[in-house]
Amino acid sequence: MNFIPVAKQNAVEVSNFEFSSLDLDIDRLLIENPSATYIGLAEGQSMVDAGIFSGDLLIISRAQQVKDGDVIVACLNGVFVVKKVDKQNNSLLPAAKGYVSYVLQPGDEFQIEGVVTQSIRLHRPLNLNIQ
């Protein structure tokens, strides 16, 4: 993988710049436990204050133990949601103004799918046929 130290470059220097080659593997860099990790695509605006925007890729680990305040992906009553977890109050919290927290109720079908360990902002949409 080629590496450009972007913060150190300006328009004058770029024409004379030589790329550095690093022994980086994006999978090894971002994914600690591949067999317990999957990638999701964020949808909606309820987590923007946590830096997660609609269209972002989410790296989700099933190997991480859920801690209070973690951003998680869960299946709530048949719908996948991305929220902060409040274990003490048994709640799911948004990270944006205008959204309300959800207190888990008896009878809710609720399963934590994993902890969001990273999010990746895409500046061009992916050409994926995900349904």
* Enzyme catalytic residues: 46, 83
Identify the bridge partners of residue 74 per DSSP, sorted by sequence position: 81, 112
Structure tokens at 46: 């309820």
> How far is the C-alpha of 40 from the C-alpha of 82, rounded, in Å?
10
Are the C-beta atoms of 73 and 117 separated by less than 8 Å? Answer: no
Are the C-beta atoms of 80 and 72 separated by less than 8 Å? Answer: no
Structure tokens at 91: 């709640």
